[in-house]
Amino acid sequence: MQISKKSLLFSVVFIMFLNTLCAQDNILIQAPKNIKSIVLKPNKINVYHPIIKLGETIQFSFDDINSEEEIYSYKIEHCDYNWKKSDLVSSEYISGFSNDRIRDYENSFNTLQPYTHYDVKIPNSTMRIIKTGNYLISVINEEENIIFTRKFIVYQNLVDVGVSVHRSRDVSFINEKHDVQFIINHPNINIRDPYNDVKVAIYRNMDWNSVIKNIKPKYVKNGQLLYNYVSKISFWSGNEYLYFDTKEIRNATNNIQRTRLDNIFNTYLYYDEEQYNKAYSFNQDVNGSFVLRTIDSEDISLEGDYSKIHFSLESFKNIGDKNIYIYGSFNDWQISDENRMTYNSKTKLYETALLLKQGFYNYTYVTADESRNINISDIVGSFYQTENEYTVIVYYKSFGDRYFQVAGIGSGNSKKLKN
């Protein structure tokens, strides 16, 4: 049977269209305005990044301020190195069901802002992850529409990763950048082709937008892969994160100028100044993370209240056609109309307000152009003294495997610069 050129062309276009749809399925979907306080982290104290060891528990929770006890489901998908859906079927990486209803939900009480709190822990009685890798968790409504998605990583310690952070070796950026070097030790794994069977991803403070990828080892030794490039793995250092704490929601505390009650709480922060043209100043932070907490009640999940946080920034820098955004882990390092600032000609300040649950929050100011390219230093500057945590994720594919497993994780902190 002959196939016409027209039919063949249609088939090729159709396949390309399907591939495009698959790619779009794995792009992060931002949560709608009624979904707040999304937490995806190990079930451990003082650990904030969405990375767990295989077999450990990851905690996933969020609030719906519509407070109508909506029925939500969640779905777990295995992704490849580039965060696209992998070739594995769900039964290969999940023991049990890959999707299920969120059964643990309850309405808030004693709060001015009503909400329904949803909570899931994985593994649970219906689901257990059995392979390492990149994962995407999706929340789905009753109409089977995906409401939002989040990334997390599952790993095993099959290799050891030693990470060091250096002041930039490029004299043009010696005061503004950090260089990262690392060694992968794999005495128990015979890596046949280290240039193709091993992939790495390096993050600053686990900001998804900061990732540097597709780096090959510079040297290969017996049982070691060395990534000791000079300035090839280089990050803008940025600046220390700013913070506020609303655990005492009725009172003004550090960095909070005043509070006002108007149906709900309104919290007004002192205005911030641009820092790019000032000297570095140390500020203790948690590298962009946040912790939900309150001293007004015992259960932050159901009794923590919400406040509209009013941010203001004094900046005279010409940023051209870019926009300024409030940025941090609290919104999964995403930029949107919700966290975009607008200029107030009366106050001569950039301003915006975000509805946030009680807690301790790190945040910073970034700019982004129309292509959504983010610049972390336009407003706050970039200083080599800044304390950052750099995380190296190692992916490995052995002979015959159909996916890259996460074989190890290492981290280094710029508090100990190796010069």
List the CATH number of the domain containing 60: 2.60.40.10
Say what percent of the chain tops pLDDT 90: 87
331 and 270 both lie in a single domain:
yes
CA atoms within 13 A on the CB side of 297: 17
Estimate to the nearest angstrom the gap between the alpha carbon of 201 and the chain centroid: 14
- Whether 380 maps to a domain, the answer reads no
CA 358 to CA 245: how far, in whole Å? 8
The last residue of one of the domains, among 155, 189, 211, is 155
73 and 110 both lie in a single domain:
yes
Give the residues of the chain that fall short of pLDDT 70.
1-27
- Whether 164 maps to a domain, the answer reads yes
Structural domain span for residue 44 = 30-155
Q: Note whether 167 and 161 are within 8 A (CB).
A: no
Residues 6+ apart with CB under 8 A from 393: 153, 155, 200, 201, 202, 203, 406, 409
pLDDT of residue 2: 45
The last residue of one of the domains, among 128, 155, 182, is 155
- Whether 21 maps to a domain, the answer reads no
Residues 6+ apart with CB under 8 A from 207: 288, 329, 333
133 and 205 both lie in a single domain:
no
pLDDT of residue 13: 36
CA nearest neighbour of 247 among 311, 300, 293: 293
285 and 341 both lie in a single domain:
yes
pLDDT of residue 154: 98
CA 88 to CA 84: how far, in whole Å? 12
371 and 251 both lie in a single domain:
yes
pLDDT of residue 332: 96
CA 140 to CA 75: how far, in whole Å? 8
Domain count, the chain: 3
- Whether 8 maps to a domain, the answer reads no
Residues 6+ apart with CB under 8 A from 134: 78, 79, 80, 81, 83, 151, 153, 406
343 and 310 both lie in a single domain:
yes
CA 41 to CA 380: how far, in whole Å? 28
What does DSSP say about strands 234-236 and 177-185: parallel, antiparallel, or unpaired? antiparallel
264 and 329 both lie in a single domain:
yes
77 and 200 both lie in a single domain:
no
* pTM for this entry: 0.91
- Whether 148 maps to a domain, the answer reads yes
pLDDT of residue 283: 87
- Whether 46 maps to a domain, the answer reads yes
180 and 305 both lie in a single domain:
no
- Whether 183 maps to a domain, the answer reads yes
259 and 360 both lie in a single domain:
yes
Domain of 339: which CATH number? 2.60.40
Q: Note whether 357 and 292 are within 8 A (CB).
A: yes
pLDDT of residue 115: 98
336 and 225 both lie in a single domain:
no
pLDDT of residue 63: 98
142 and 46 both lie in a single domain:
yes
CA angle 407, 411, 412 (to 5 degrees): 150
pLDDT of residue 418: 82
The last residue of one of the domains, among 106, 121, 155, is 155
Q: Note whether 324 and 341 are within 8 A (CB).
A: yes
- Whether 18 maps to a domain, the answer reads no
pLDDT of residue 27: 67
Q: Note whether 403 and 395 are within 8 A (CB).
A: no
